[in-house]
Amino acid sequence: MSLEDDLNKTNAYYLELDRANVHKKPTPIMIATVSYPSRSQAKITEAYFKVPSTTDYNGVYRCKAVDYEAKETQSKTSFALAYLHEHQIAHMRSVLRHGALTFMIIRFTSLDETYFVPADRLLAFIDTTTRRSIPILWIRENGMRIPWRLTPPIDYLTCVDAYYFKGEMLND
């Protein structure tokens, strides 16, 4: 199953339990051409991205804005920064400045490992290196591994609690 599918299932689980309200942001697309073979079978034949998208998911958890990017890589040794676009980095900086809980979720598919990487640490790495990739060792040392579970598949809120709330669980 893809990272996006796992995160969508996780977020639906969180919403059902009223733990968090986090959703995938739709990518804005401009439809250029539509084929109409018949009235009931309209088919989009050409479309373009309207504007560059920011991050993949946003929402609210524990009265705080949540904003994160999710990426997958086949690499066993590093995450290529080419997968993280400049406008996404700028967006992460902005929402971080405004107090949002901002992070990345990176899955190394060939290793079956998924990590929570806080944006403040990620941005500090980007600002202090000339590397074009983030070594997996750095991710393991500066992020948190998110174990796969049946329900929810990617329990990233456990990492959010540990990093941003010093491990304190929300009392209902």
Residue 169 is classified by DSSP as P
Residue 19's domain comprises: 3-26+52-164
Does residue 82 belong to any structural domain of this protein? yes
Domain tally for the chain?
1
Residue 172: pLDDT band (50, 70, 90) is low
Does residue 170 belong to any structural domain of this protein? no
Q: What is the pLDDT of residues 11-53, one digit of tens each?
A: 999 999 999 999 998 666 767 777 887 777 878 777 766 666 7
Does residue 125 belong to any structural domain of this protein? yes
Tell me what pLDDT residue 170 has: 61
pTM of the model: 0.86
Q: What is the pLDDT of residues 60-95, one digit of tens each?
A: 999 999 999 999 999 999 999 999 999 999 999 999
- Asked if 66 and 101 count as a contact pair (C-beta separation under 8 A), the reply is yes
Instruction: Tell me the CATH number at 106.
Output: 3.40.1350.10
- Asked if 66 and 160 count as a contact pair (C-beta separation under 8 A), the reply is yes
Does residue 144 belong to any structural domain of this protein? yes
